[in-house]
Structure 1
Amino acid sequence: MDGIHDLGGVQGFGRVAHRANSLSYKPVFHEPWEHLGYSLLFLGAAELGLFNVDELRHAIERMEPRQYLASSYYDRIMVGVASLFVEKGAITGQRLEELAGGGYPLALPLGPGREADAPKAPFNVGDRVRVKDEFVSGHIRMPGYVRGKCGVVLHRTTHEWPFPDAVGHGMPSAPEPTYHVQFTTQELWGDAADAGTVVVDLFGGYLLNA
């Protein structure tokens, strides 16, 4: 989906402040409540089997855009997990608001997903591929800036995973390989871009022979 979360390749945000982290230990959590989000995530996904990781990703994508931008990383996890607990019937919205002491904004309603349309034969290293030029209303793990672009397969994973567009909506899916696909910056952003390459991990269901 073209959500507020998919900012790859978007311009106008200014220079990104970046520095290489040292190997010294850095605290994972910065506020005393942040570990609760991860605890509830593993409770819902692993212990109770209510949802999978792609369903959580999509719940976060479904946050109202202003709420998403105003939320921290762990805020988003909390909203996503709470939304899924309500959607899966583990708790009612009314009970959640009672526990929160007031209104608790949840993700927007879930729409339909789609089944995989993976190629019949896997791609090989060195194959030239084209990303499908398609717009999806639901969950998708393909960055919008690679739609319709051509690249070269650098690596095919030995493990396979369910297609996210399906399992992100609670639908079953057969596993498929993913690929490391290398694109030139000119292919992605035109001749005015600085020379370079970008490697994107993509499911086979997003790719065609170029």
Structure 2
Amino acid sequence: MKLQHHLGGLEGLGPVWTETRVFVEPWETRIFGIHTAMMALSSQLPLPATPSAFDTIWTWADLRKGAEGINPFDYFKYRYYEKWLGGISGYFIEKGYITAEELDALTEVYYADPDKALPGGGAAAIDERIIQYLVEGDSPKRDVPVGDVLSVGDKVFIKNVPTIEHTRLPGFLRNKVGTVETVYEGAYTYLCDTGPDGIGTPMPVYCVAFDPQELWPGNAEANFILYADLYSAYVLPADVAEAA
């Protein structure tokens, strides 16, 4: 997880302003809808066929990778859904659905005439598939053997795994020690293979409790616990880590 995507625990960042509205501008709802449609139309899902030409895979992980690939200085220039728009546009160009020049030309067309009708071929069938996707979902839980599983109360050491494109491990937890609070039943996959980061295939997931004094020694409030849900690829039994 690159710096701009998890600022927890960093000092001297100045005042932080948080937007509480889910959507600030009307166009942001359309970006969310496009993202949802892309997930529903992804080729790996066993859902009814549609006339859509979209035949590749798009997941939450692809959206996150697109945002995390932005230059850190550019990242802070844009609002939330502007980052989504950039990632989605880049994906369509990368996969050959449209060229950058064609996208720029269409952008100018709709700037000039915002009320111009959008293409609607096969919309009804596409809508039905999206609705089915939203109703049925795509659970990451898998019914597969998971091997050795840690127990509630076990002390664990959090690895500092290499990050290439994407990770689900916050930076401030790396090389820290916590305690297993909950062992979630079953095994859980991730939306994509993160390579050296270690997640993708089904594995146990734990809720791990951390003492803030362990995370930020001498600079944390008292009387609270921080919890994080972590894939097993990110944790080691503390005694194994000490012996290594």
Class of the TM-score when normalised by the shorter of the 2 chains? 0.7 to 0.9
User: What's the offset of the Cα at 1:100?
Assistant: 2.5
User: What's the offset of the Cα at 1:67?
Assistant: 2.2
Q: Secondary structure at the match of 1:187?
A: helix
What's the counterpart of residue 91 of structure 1?
98
Q: Deviations over 1:103-142 (max 9, x none)?
A: xxxxxxxxxxxxxxxx841222111111002332321010
Q: What stretches of structure 1 move > 3 A for 4+ residues in a row?
A: 14-18
Deviates more, 1:134-143 or 1:180-189: 134-143
What's the counterpart of residue 110 of structure 1?
none
Equivalent residue letter for 1:201:
D
Matched ranges for 1:52-131 at <5 A:
52-101=59-108, 120-131=147-158
Q: Secondary structure at the match of 1:41?
A: helix
Q: Secondary structure at the match of 1:46?
A: helix
What's the counterpart of residue 43 of structure 1?
37
Q: Taking every aligned residue pair, what percent have the same amino acid on both sides?
A: 33
Give TM-score scaled by structure 2 length: 0.67
Alpha-carbon RMSD: 2.9
Summarize the Cα distance change of 1:159–1:88 in structure 2 as closer, same or farther, 3 Å threshold: farther
- Equivalent pair of 2:189/2:203 in contact (CA under 8 Å): yes
- Equivalent pair of 2:165/2:194 in contact (CA under 8 Å): no
Q: Which has the higher contact order (CA 8 A, sep 6+)?
A: 1
Gaps of 5+ in 2: 44-56, 110-145, 239-244
Distance in 1 (CA, whole Å) between partners of 2:160 and 2:21 is: 41
User: What's the offset of the Cα at 1:157?
Assistant: 2.2
Q: Please identify which structure carries the higher helix content.
A: 2
Summarize the Cα distance change of 1:160–1:154 in structure 2 as closer, same or farther, 3 Å threshold: same
Asked if 1:14 corresponds to 2:14, the answer is yes
- Equivalent pair of 1:44/1:85 in contact (CA under 8 Å): no
User: What's the offset of the Cα at 1:162?
Assistant: 2.0
- Equivalent pair of 1:52/1:167 in contact (CA under 8 Å): no
Equivalent residue letter for 2:225:
T
Distance in 2 (CA, whole Å) between partners of 1:161 and 1:176 is: 5
Equivalent residue letter for 1:131:
I
Aligned residues between the structures:
186
